[in-house]
Structure 1
Amino acid sequence: MPEQDPKGQPAVAAGPGQTLYYTVGQVAKMLGVSPRWLADRCRAEEVDHVYMARKRKFTPAQVEKVLKQYTVEGPDFEAERREQERIARRARARAAARRK
């Protein structure tokens, strides 16, 4: 049986085991957000989507892009450490210049 959105509409399949697009309801469920939130992002043109026949749809690549777009990565501790070392070197250089 093909995948269905919350209203019972099947997702369109591109071939055996491949989905051509997902509905807003399906993507919202996958992402753990409300369909209204996702539809609002679509209307505001904040996320890529397909708008055809007055329906908003998402390709698998667009779903991945939404995930990447809203992914927050943790801090880069190595870059932060290098920045702190750079600041400390500049402070030492300024202190040495004042002593001269």
Structure 2
Amino acid sequence: MKNRENHEEIIVRIPEQMLRGISEAAGSMRADSDGYVYLSTTSRTEDDQTNLIREAMMKGYVEMSHINLSIATECLYAEYEAEHTLERLVSGG
């Protein structure tokens, strides 16, 4: 779209979480002589990626804990059976 001053208007879709971060940082931003504010989204994106990785790791640990508990529960019976068999063999009964 062209506006009156022969500038092009660009519409950008920004995720709500990023928009909240931008509005939080708006107090410390300064505009240049033309009134434009330049904002680097690189650090914001890196922070979001770090949080996504952390959440994925937490989810993985929770899923793995359930698997480990299932394995330990299944092996408990086998350990009991092995101990019982050993006692029978050692005591001769």
TM-score interval, smaller chain: 0.3 to 0.5
With structure 1 as the length reference, what TM-score do the two structures score? 0.40
Higher relative contact order (CA 8 A, sep 6+): 1
Structure (1 or 2) with the greater helix fraction: 2
Could you say which structure has the larger radius of gyration? 2
Structure with a larger share of its residues in strand: 1
